[in-house]
Amino acid sequence: MLKRYTVKDAAEYLGVHTDTIYTMVRQKEIPHFRLRRRIMFSKEAIDNWIREQEQNNVQEKEDDQSMFLSYY
């Protein structure tokens, strides 16, 4: 069965304030969907998004290191 989160649930799951979630939704930074006026999140989509964020951070760090090393 697919797990669905409300804004409050997503905030608790990610360890952030609900205001942060609303801001991320407005800026389209986090995967979400709407049921009429309610903002909802799929646990699977949030987990995939977290993995993508981790991969992006690792890639950025590697790029920064290679840029630093290329100067010497």
Q: Domain extents for the chain?
A: 4-70
Residue 41 is predicted with a pLDDT of 98
Kindly give the residue spans of alpha helices, DSSP state H, lying in 1-72: 7-14, 18-26, 43-70
pLDDT for res 2 = 83
pLDDT at 57 (0 to 100)? 80
Nearest to 6 by CA among 44, 48, 35, 47: 35
Neighbouring residues of 61: CB distance < 8 A, sequence distance ≥ 6: none
More confidently predicted of 59 and 66: 59
Q: Which residue has the higher pLDDT, 67 or 36?
A: 36
**pLDDT, mean of residues 10-14:** 98
Q: Tell me the average pLDDT of the chain.
A: 88
Rounded Cα distance, 28 and 36, in Å: 18
How many CB atoms are closer than 10 A to CB 30?
19
What is the pLDDT averaged over residues 22-45?
97
